[in-house]
């Protein structure tokens, strides 16, 4: 049976594709207030601004390509059972060929009626639709009459996929973390569910705060770090 690798990724894995990270200098949250464009409160106050922000993200994504790090992660599937658990809302892992991707924070290319996928309906994704790189505007309504909203986990909302992610990390023989500042919970705590004997690798050029003596930090950008990681597996 193949060994299992759980790969936990953040914005850093997509940085070399040209998508900015959130919290680095000049990152997205330097230019936009997440409480305005990516929070439950922001959506309630000014949904038009939120829709515009994600229209922009979608347009940027259309013109972005996966990089070698995404591809090397996808190629791990040749020898391992790989579960990618990403905080990213981009689709670059899928476009690089990864076949098992859990999007903890939602997906930029999907929308849903604003009154669905919540604690009342058990977070059912039945009404989620894939709009690709199209725009959504105020007044674009679903057949049930509700405004369409981005299929994104806004700040202040539950993270329904976290339980599945915990199971996958706990089942892994190797845990690999790539390009995340580990500042946003519950995603940031996921690596703590790694089995005691599972090695944990971290690829990030910065000093990420991670408190586990097992962590092997490959202090490089994602493409170089992935090359080194693949070499270590041999
Ligand atoms: P952050 O912007 O917080 O962190 C990005 C990480 O990537 C940092 O640790 C950087 O050092 C690292 N990094 C930068 N360039 C890199 C490169 N070329 N290769 C590898 N690593 C690099 O992004 P996340 O941790 O992903 O949520 O942020 C978590 C969540 O906060 C996001 O999913 C988003 C945001 O608010 C939502 O929008 C719901």
Task: Tell whether the model's pLDDT for residue 190 goes beyond 90.
Answer: yes
Domain 24-63+110-152 CATH assignment equals 3.30.1600.10: yes
Task: Tell whether the model's pLDDT for residue 234 goes beyond 90.
Answer: no
Question: How does DSSP classify residue 147?
Answer: B
pLDDT of residue 66: 98
- Give the pLDDT band of residue 191 (cuts 50, 70, 90): very high
Q: Ligand 1: which of 7, 18, 19, 24 to mutate, most ligand atoms within 8 Å of CB?
A: 24
- Give the pLDDT band of residue 211 (cuts 50, 70, 90): confident
Residues enclosing ligand 1, CB less than 6 A?
Answer: 10-12, 15-16, 21-24, 27, 34, 38, 87, 105, 152-153, 179-181, 183-184, 204-206, 208, 221-222
Q: How far is the CA of 183 from the centre of ligand 1 (A)?
A: 9
For the chain, counts of helices (H) and of strands (E): 9, 9
Kindly give the number of the ligand 1 atom that is closest to the alpha carbon of 182.
25
Reported as a single tens digit per residue, the pLDDT across 140-182 is 999 999 999 999 999 999 999 999 999 999 999 999 999 999 9
Kindly give the number of the ligand 1 atom that is closest to the alpha carbon of 221.
19
The CATH code of domain 1-19+66-105+158-234 reads 3.40.50.1220
Q: Ligand 1: which of 8, 10, 14, 30 to mutate, most ligand atoms within 8 Å of CB?
A: 10
The whole-chain average pLDDT of the chain stands at: 97
Q: How far is the CA of 88 from the centre of ligand 1 (A)?
A: 8
CA 86 to chain centre: 3
pLDDT of residue 101: 98
Q: To which H or E segment does residue 109 belong?
A: strand 106-113
pLDDT of residue 108: 98
Find out whether 213 and 189 touch, Cβ atoms under 8 Å: no
**In 41-66, which positions are buried (b, 16+ CB within 10 angstroms) versus exposed (e)?**
ebbeeebeebbbbbbebbeebeebeb
Domain map of the chain by residue range?
1-19+66-105+158-234, 24-63+110-152
Kindly give the number of the ligand 1 atom that is closest to the alpha carbon of 27.
2
- Give the pLDDT band of residue 68 (cuts 50, 70, 90): very high
Q: How far is the CA of 10 from the centre of ligand 1 (A)?
A: 5
- 3-state secondary structure string, 121-133? CCCCCCCCEECCC
Q: How far is the CA of 219 from the centre of ligand 1 (A)?
A: 15
Reported as a single tens digit per residue, the pLDDT across 19-50 is 999 999 999 999 999 999 999 999 999 999 99
Q: CA 178, CA 225: separation in Å to the nearest integer?
A: 9
pLDDT of residue 144: 93
Q: How far is the CA of 35 from the centre of ligand 1 (A)?
A: 17
Reported as a single tens digit per residue, the pLDDT across 100-112 is 999 999 999 999 9
Kindly give the number of the ligand 1 atom that is closest to the alpha carbon of 15.
18
Find out whether 147 and 138 touch, Cβ atoms under 8 Å: yes
Write down the pTM of the prediction: 0.97
The residue whose CA is least distant from atom 16 of ligand 1 is: 12
pLDDT of residue 212: 85
């Amino acid at each position: 049976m193949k060994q299992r690798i759980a790969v936990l990724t953040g914005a850093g894995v997509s940085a070399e594709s040209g998508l900015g990270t959130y919290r680095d200098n000049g990152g997205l949250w330097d230019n936009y207030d997440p409480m305005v464009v990516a929070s439950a409160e922001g959506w309630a106050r000014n949904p038009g601004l939120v829709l515009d922000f994600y229209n922009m993200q979608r347009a940027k994504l259309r013109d972005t390509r996966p990089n070698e790090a995404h591809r090397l992660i996808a190629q791990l599937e040749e020898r391992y059972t790989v579960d990618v658990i990403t905080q990213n809302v981009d689709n670059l892992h899928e476009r690089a060929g990864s076949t098992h991707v859990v999007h903890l924070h939602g997906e930029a290319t999907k929308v849903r009626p604003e009154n669905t996928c919540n604690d009342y309906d058990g977070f059912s994704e039945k009404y989620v639709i894939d709009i690709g790189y199209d725009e959504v505007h105020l007044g674009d309504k679903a057949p049930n009459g509700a405004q369409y909203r981005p299929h994104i986990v806004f700040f202040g909302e539950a993270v329904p996929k976290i339980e599945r992610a915990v199971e996958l990390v706990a089942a892994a023989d190797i845990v690999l973390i790539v390009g995340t500042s580990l500042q946003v919970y519950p995603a940031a705590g996921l690596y703590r569910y790694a089995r005691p004997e599972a090695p944990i690798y971290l690829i990030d050029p910065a000093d990420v705060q991670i408190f586990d003596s097992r962590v092997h930090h490959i202090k490089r950008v994602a493409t170089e770090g992935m090359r080194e990681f693949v070499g270590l597996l041999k």
